Amino acid sequence: MHKIKTLENGLRIATLPMNHMESVAIGIWIKAGGRFENAKNSGISHLLEHLLFKGTANRDMMTIKQEIEGRGGSFNGFTSEEHTCYLVKVLSKDAELGLDILSDMVLHPKLDEDEIAKEKDVIIEEINMYKDMPSHYVHEILAEMMWPGQPLGLPLAGTVESVRAITKDDIVKYKETHYNPKNILVAATGKIEEDALAGLSQKYFRSSPPGPISKFQKVVLEQKNPEFRLITKDTEQTHVALGFHAIDRFHPDRHVLSLINVILGANMSSRLFHIVRDEMALCYEISSSLRRYEDCGVFIVSGGVDNKKLVKALEIILRELARMKREPVGAEELRRAKEYYKGQLLFALEDTMSHMLWLGEKVISNEKDFSVKSILSKVDAVKPEDLIRAAGGMLKNEAMNLAVIGPVKDEKEVRKVLKIS
């Protein structure tokens, strides 16, 4: 059972002892990410995350790597729309070293001017690389369509212009605003006890003063009609991303939508993979995904289709989405979807790092449902009529957005399928 403790300065600590393990996974989670940015400083969360690996006031870049990897451990970091996370996995005997290094990175980064300039160049190359990858870039276009003029519609890495314009002063100010104990969670799973983690967290964070709690701009949804955006490009495949506005991470129907996702496109036995790829050979890759944020969500169907078969593929995809809203899912198909969903959750929780990521995201997001038994029970309770109801609420024509990159010759045919003028 996980335990949560809060220090006097606001720092939260989440611990899940797994004493049968030899390792411990530790993550420092911060309420900072793409949603806390604007068009001017877009990409600053991601840039700051990169810079924290470039050295601290106490350790240079190579020392950080050698101290962790020289003990057989691993470490990494990532930036998402609502969080930034720095993480290590080490043997339990090295837990203090792991937290020492992570806290040093978070609290005392060097932020050297030369390293900032170099890392900005690296990220600009990353941005340019993604623009040359239609399978990735099509998702950026879709986000911009779904949340126009809002932080969620901006690319996490930023734009070439925004990254170039970010100064060291901007980075320092952003870090001082968001990287304070009231926005930080220390989460650990594995061979470590609650009191031990609390003691270490107190040791390394006690001198860090509290600051304001980070808040982001909530989304404003004003879409009234389906939207379509085409980037004509000479590619070997036509890349599509079809998105619908969905529910947030706290909604009672979140497990219902997860099952809809499994049934439609989350694995190789899903309807879209089986029909669009295996039966009709319209594409090589097709899948669906579900993303949840604190105040909204998105359901996406994406893939790369044969250039000559785009219209046919879209017709089949939309037909299957409509069937989800209309026809009850059979007992056997629903059973398989539930078993897949539950199995994936249980598999993830076997590993200390996966379990830390699961726990950390829930705590930093203020979710309340941590009981695996409760989650499995709610999944088992989903009925076919729940799927029809939830699909009907999500898969609305007026909430549909389609981004396409490829050599499309007849845009009118695509618009006709989407029923947009």
Query: Active-site positions?
Result: 49
DSSP 89-140: EEEGGGHHHHHHHHHHHHHSB---HHHHHHHHHHHHHHHHHHHT-HHHHHHH
Total residue length of the chain:
421
Whether 64 contacts 105, CB under 8 Å: yes
- The angle formed by the CA atoms of residues 53, 54 and 57, to the nearest 5 degrees, is 100
Largest CA distance in the chain: 65
Q: How many CB atoms lie within 10 A of CB 16?
A: 22
Strands (E) in 260-416, as ranges, are 283-292, 297-306, 400-406
Distances (CA, A) of 392 to 143, 148, 188, 301, 388: 22, 24, 39, 16, 6
Residue 123 half-sphere exposure, CB side, CA atoms within 13 Å?
A: 28
